[in-house]
Amino acid sequence: MKMIQRLSALILAAAMALTAMTGCGKGAAGDASGTAGGAADSTENKSASSADVIAIGDLAETLGAGWNYGNTLEAIADGVVSETAWGNPAASQEMMDAVAAAGFKTVRVPVSWIDKIDDANGYKVDEAWLSRVEEVVQYAYNAGLNVIINVHGDGYNSIPGGWLLVNGDDQEGIREKYKALWTQIAERFADYDEHLIFEGMNEVFDGEYHDPPKEYYENLNAFDQTFVDAVRATGGNNGHRWLLVPGWNTDIEYTCGDYGFELPEDKNTAGEGRLILSVHYYAPWDYAGDENQRVFAWGDKGQELIDAGIATAKNTASYGGQDDLIEQMDRLKTQFVDQGVPVIIGEYGCIDKSFANLDAAAAIDQNRAYFDGFLAGTAADRGITPVYWDNGYNGNYGFALFDRSTTEQTHPNIIEAIVKAVAEKDPTAGMGEAVAVAEHEAKDAIHAYLGIQTKVYTFRNGYDDGTYGHDSEWFDTLIKWDDTDGDGQSDIVDTGATLQDAEIREDGTYTVGVSGYDFSADSDGLNMLYVSTDFPYTGKMRITDVTLKIDGQEIAIDKPIISSDGSGNVYIEILNVYNEMAPNPTFDLPKESLEISFTLGNVKSAF
């Protein structure tokens, strides 16, 4: 999947906290270097038995339902690979255990290598990074999972430092570097059994959405062959390891159609073909991935939404319905599975549009479960392995199924739809009465709180912030940083402002705000302005009529972002300079007061 850096405002605030000026918010979980607790010794549970060979007839059953540990080891900022750069916690044993406990049997771990390859030193791969990748692979082994690792963002024209380019000038040099990279990866994992799969590359194409040029497709085929040859040459269990190879942009049409894809030769294996075809499925895109269209109804369940008056024909995709999906899966089975080449759908899924369409939130959630389960079950019935794309983001337009900070399931109904559909090879086997969200503790009242941060870091952080949230002495104050004792160190100062929070027991309009402080004398602008809460967004509650008042004057807000924070609680974003998707209205800073009002419906769903 292309970079989806959907960062919540709280995570962005946390990132700002890493600077010397702020201190106002907890940092992203995990260290940027990428180690996380819970790992066993790197050799404790791996298998060095070359006898543990997964036969072609057993492969799909062994792999089962898969899940992507996305936007983590492939995260890149300014050409530098950094595990937590996109706001997700570092990979952990606890998260792998949760994935296994949910019923998934395979985890795909996308990995970028861009700045970890020393071009001036024979393409030497950074040992620390290789060790970190091995540590994460071991997490999967410890959890009893199959695991796929790859070369992920290196082939993107859109990323600084991308080099594995079919349209690159020096194709011979690119192949030399690619061979050196996979040789070193394969040598590191030569003793791991076949529960570890290598995937050569991810969504490699020339960056232009057109039919593949013949010359560029030939370059891609050469990359596939280079990958296979490099791995096989390292010996050990790599002599018969399953290898995953893609066509143009992992697109089914450009792989199955007459556009130039050639499966590489694979010699000296265990007496049978050991190659797997890699494809992705995000069709129809206006349903699965387009954030700009109100398309949220798909398949037979989508028609039920139309019949019930929840959706109209305008909310359905222009192509790519159930029949199209079945046709594509049949095509893969006929052209590859039936010919002795297994297929893995390395990525699929559909974004969460419930926050952007609150009037149909619960129906959208169930339709997502239907789409994901239908694809997974249809694929499994044809011997194809589906691997869901999870980018770690649970808010508006996110793909996540888990909260990676707590490892809790955020969409158990989607997980059940996928896992049961694959296990039973039935597209609708998991469409039961599973709840759409995790259960929460019952409360007598729920609350909303103003969150704010100026450009000089006068702030009040969110309810669940680990350092300045509700558990701290500073939550009920607007604070700033100042050298009050003259020792050259910034101290926390209570500004004396008055905060207005909202206690909520029933449907109605509520207001949060701050008064008694001249923000205009403090700073020339805000970095963040939002409402945080202590109650979960259930998919049933309606949040409308969000308005902002500055010194009593109402400011128009164009489509505030209503999503969930890192704890799954309702979060209303008004302004966030770190998030280009936020409304970010322009206004003069208040001299006396700032208020945010909003109307809640179906409040009882939060209790």
Residues 188 and 111: their CA atoms lie apart, in Å, by 15
* Residue intervals in the chain for CATH 3.20.20.80: 77-89+106-136+146-281, 292-432
Q: How many CA atoms lie within 13 A of 194 on its CB side?
A: 22
CA angle 485, 490, 493 (to 5 degrees): 75
Spell out the CATH class of 292-432.
alpha beta
- Paired strand residues for 246: 278
pTM of the model: 0.69
Q: What pLDDT is stored for residue 102 in this prediction?
A: 97
**Whole-number CA gyration radius for the chain:** 25
- The pLDDT assigned to 270 comes to 59
Beta-sheet pairing, 106-109 with 146-150: parallel
Q: What amino acid is encoded at 275 in this protein? A: L
Residues tagged active-site: 203, 347
DSSP 493-521: EE---EEE-EEESSSEEEEEEEES--HHH
Walk along the chain (607 residues) in steps of 10 and give the mean pLDDT of each run.
Answer: 37 31 28 35 44 84 98 94 94 98 98 97 98 98 98 94 96 98 98 96 96 98 97 93 97 97 84 90 96 90 86 86 96 97 97 83 90 97 98 93 94 95 94 42 79 92 88 92 73 92 93 96 92 80 89 88 76 87 88 95 78
Neighbours of 270 (CB within 10 A): 15
The sheet that has 542-550: what strands, in order across it?
498-500, 508-515, 593-601, 542-550, 553-555
Sequence-ordered list of residues with C-beta below 8 angstroms from that of 188, at least 6 positions apart, any chain: 130, 134
Q: What is the structure's pLDDT at 397?
A: 92
Q: Give the pLDDT confidence score for residue 356 in this predicted structure.
A: 81
- Give the integer Cα–Cα distance in Å for 286 and 112: 28
Rounded Cα distance between 380 and 204, Å, is 25
The C-alpha atoms of residue 494 and residue 191 are separated, in whole angstroms, by 59
pLDDT of the residue at 109: 98
Q: Which two tokens stand for residue 385?
A: 């392995």
Q: How far is CA 547 from CA 168, 357, 583, in A?
A: 50, 18, 12
Gap between the Cα atoms of 294 and 311, Å rounded = 10
The CATH code of domain 77-89+106-136+146-281 reads 3.20.20.80
**Residue 233 vs residues 172, 177, 180, 515: alpha-carbon distances, Å:** 19, 16, 12, 70
